[in-house]
Structure 1
Amino acid sequence: MRFLHTSDWHLGQTLHSFERVYEHQCFLDWLLQTLVDERIDALLIAGDVYDNANPSAASQKQLYRFLRQAKSAVRHLNIVIIAGNHDSPGRLEAPGPLLEEHDVSLVGNVLRDAAGAIALERLVLPLKNRDGEIAAWCLAVPFLRPGDVPRVDSADPYAEGIALLYRQALALALEKRSPGQAIVALGHCHMTGGAQSADSERRVIIGGSEALSAAMFGPEVAYAALGHLHLAQVVGKQPHLRYSGSPLPMSFSEIPYRHQVLRFDLDGERATDITPLHVPRTVDLLRVPATPGPLDEVLAALQALPPRSGEHPPYLEVRVRLDAPEPGLRARVEAALEGRHARLARIDTSLPQRGGDEAETLSLDQIDSLRPDDIFRRLYRQKFDRDAPDDQLSAFTELMTAAGVGPAA
């Protein structure tokens, strides 16, 4: 069998208020053609299908349209989807009874029977080859919350509970499989040593636990298809334990990534020929300048950008180093970008580090006696290491007045 491993689509994501429907559709169109061109037998989607737990109708329609097209283009295709920490388990599973008729399996929840035992059967799924015969088994384990895992008497019951659940699912798969049938694990979690992306991945720390040991995947697991981390990477120097990464850059920190999906083959009970297939980037992300610079230099760099052309200009993060607050910053940046081929998504400002001692500690009585303008003056000095200028104090007073708060309140 030939597999394709992908994750972290984040359908419905907005990048600083810009919708990304076009980019996601380009990815799905590319993925559809890749399934055909690469003669894929099973598609594994390792969580965070949507960007939030309440996806828009348009995002859900985008997913279901793709699933229909994929099954139409590759009729024997197995599709397994698990929920990630961004997904609503129940919402993801809702169309499951209908999609099961088309060899699409959706696993969002970990269910228990009346006695409290975990329903492992629904986490261990058969995968069929082109001849309709079972050729592999999939441990489809969604993102796990504390209530999902077995109870373990341990210093770290959450992490140990996750490891135990994977072992229990693996044991059931070993009971079910026949000689020559491989076992593939599908999970959404943060593994020890995994490199995170700044600004885009929601941390999954629960009760002090986050990173999980690669040892929870037994040697019988031919391949572990992981989701959550957006940077494609190998886990624990074991080539068969992989994050495919996200197909789109989800923040400006991901500009250097080569976004991809992973193709691999099964040779009996082993995974072979693990190959990245790079996803075309249909809309660029720019940081100008590469490192924060003085405002005048930044404005000159923005004015030097190419003139606007085409329908999908790149998203732009402007990085400015300031010596003091600049109230008219955005207007000046927007003026410099007039007619340039870029969409202003974010202005990142940095200020000199404040020197001196730590802020003065105040008693509760002293805090209670502070007026709003006193607090403003203190915060300004704490952040900028200088007194607030008169124009900013006046502007603050106007805001307080407009809000119905007197200067002596």
Structure 2
Amino acid sequence: MRFIHTSDWHLGQTLHSAERGLEHQHFLDWLIIALEQQQADALLIAGDVFDNANPSASSQKQFYRFLQQAKARLPKLDIVIIAGNHDSPGRLEAPGPLLDGMDISVIGMVPRLTDGSIDITAMVLPLRQNDEIVAWCLAVPFLRPGDVPRVENASDPYMTGIAQLYKDVTAHALSLRQPGQAVIAMGHCHMVGGEISEDSERRIVIGGTEALSASMFGNEITYAALGHLHLAQRVGKQEHLRYCGSPLPLSFSEVDYQHQVLCVDIEGDKLTQVTPLHVPRTVQLLRIPKQAAALPTVLDALDGLDLASITDASKGRHYDPYLEVRVKLEAPEPGLRARIESYIEGKPLRLLKIDTHYPGKAQDDNSDEQATQDTLDRLQPEDIFRRLYHGKYLQDAPGDMLQAFGELLHGEDTQ
């Protein structure tokens, strides 16, 4: 069988002042063509469909229109969607009754039986080729502390609970699997060794756990389709444990990423090939210059841009590149933005960000003394809680308190 692995669409995202709907629509149109060209049997979307838990009506309409069009073009396509940490599990699952009859499965939250226990069976889904089951998919959404089984006397209850849940779901899939059928895992999480994009990926530290071990996926897993990290990468250099990455650069720090989806081929229960399909970039992102420089040098770099090679005037202003300018200053310059905007006036550029650097400024975004606005934007609630606790009691917050704070914080996302 052949399936497409994608994740981290972040529909509805705004990059500084720029709304990304046009870029996302180009990606979705491209993806439908790719599904047809590759003759895919399934599409796996590994979380963060939307950029926030309360997506706009337009981004929701964009998503469900895509699903309708994909099924119209490929009627036998299986689609499996799991929630990421940016998604609202309940909101993502709400249209489930309408989608069930279309071979579209959405797992937003960990399903429960009437007695409150976890319904393992609901997270194991068949994948078909020509109406015949060829694989079983473990559809595990982003796991919050209240989602995982309680494991007595565990040093890290959250991480141990996640490992136990994956073990239980895998065991159920193996009980269903017939000879020659593959087992495909889906998850939205941060695995040990994964390279993150600090500007756009929300850290998911809960109870002190920063990343999960790849040992959660045993040898019986043919392929693990992961979401959360925006850079396409293997986990532990293992071919079958993959992040596909985001289809769009979601911050200027991702300007050099090769954005892609992955086309995965499986023969029986064996992985045979993983082929990146590179997503065309509708709107270019420019960091000028690559390293911060004095303003005259920056202006020279802007003059040296070959805009004709990256812009098409016939398409209109909405396709003009986004620009981040990186400037070294001796002191704050209040009129800097107006000066740069005046300099690029008439050029097909949209200035979104000015990244300023000062003499002696340590480029360490975790330094309290260097807390610029961008640094504050990247601080997560867990970071602030840790700092406040340490400032008051002059010691690190205990693990059980971090666990309780994580449950309180992430529990809000389930509404």
Which residue is equivalent to 1:321? 328
SS at match of 1:221: coil
Deviations 1:281-331 (A, max 9, x none): 111000111111111222333344448834211000010000111011111
Deviations 1:254-287 (A, max 9, x none): 0111111101112111121111111111110001
In the superposition, the TM-score normalised over structure 1's length comes to 0.85
CA distance in 2, matches of 1:235, 1:296: 43
Residues 3-402 of structure 1 aligned to structure 2 (within 5 Å): 3-130=3-130, 132-152=131-151, 153-305=153-305, 306=307, 309=313, 310-311=315-316, 312-353=319-360
Q: Which of the pair has the greater relative contact order for Cα pairs under 8 Å at 6+ separation?
A: 2
Return closer, same or farther for 1:113/1:231 CA change in 2, 3 Å cut-off.
same
Report deviation, 1:344: 0.4
Deviations 1:181-208 (A, max 9, x none): 1110010000000000120100000110
Stretches (4+) displaced over 6 A: none
CA distance in 2, matches of 1:112, 1:40: 32
One-letter code aligned to 2:233: Q
CA distance in 2, matches of 1:232, 1:302: 30
Kindly name which structure, 1 or 2, has the bigger radius of gyration based on alpha carbons.
1
One-letter code aligned to 2:324: E
One-letter code aligned to 1:146: P
CA distance in 1, matches of 2:50, 2:107: 14
Report deviation, 1:114: 4.0
Between the two proteins, the alignment pairs up a number of residues equal to: 357
CA distance in 1, matches of 2:328, 2:347: 22
Report deviation, 1:19: 0.5
**Identity, % of aligned positions:** 64
CA distance in 2, matches of 1:118, 1:58: 34
CA distance in 2, matches of 1:206, 1:337: 44
Return closer, same or farther for 1:128/1:347 CA change in 2, 3 Å cut-off.
same
CA distance in 1, matches of 2:185, 2:273: 17
Q: CA RMSD in A?
A: 1.7
One-letter code aligned to 2:195: A
Which residue is equivalent to 2:381? none
Which residue is equivalent to 2:385? none
Q: Specify every segment of 5 or more residues in structure 2 that has no aligned partner in the other structure, as ranges.
A: 369-415
Check conservation: 1:8, 1:246, Cα contact below 8 A: yes
CA distance in 2, matches of 1:127, 1:296: 58
SS at match of 1:34: helix
SS at match of 2:135: strand
In the superposition, the TM-score normalised over structure 2's length comes to 0.84
Check conservation: 1:263, 1:276, Cα contact below 8 A: yes
Deviations 1:104-133 (A, max 9, x none): 000001133343321111111111112x11
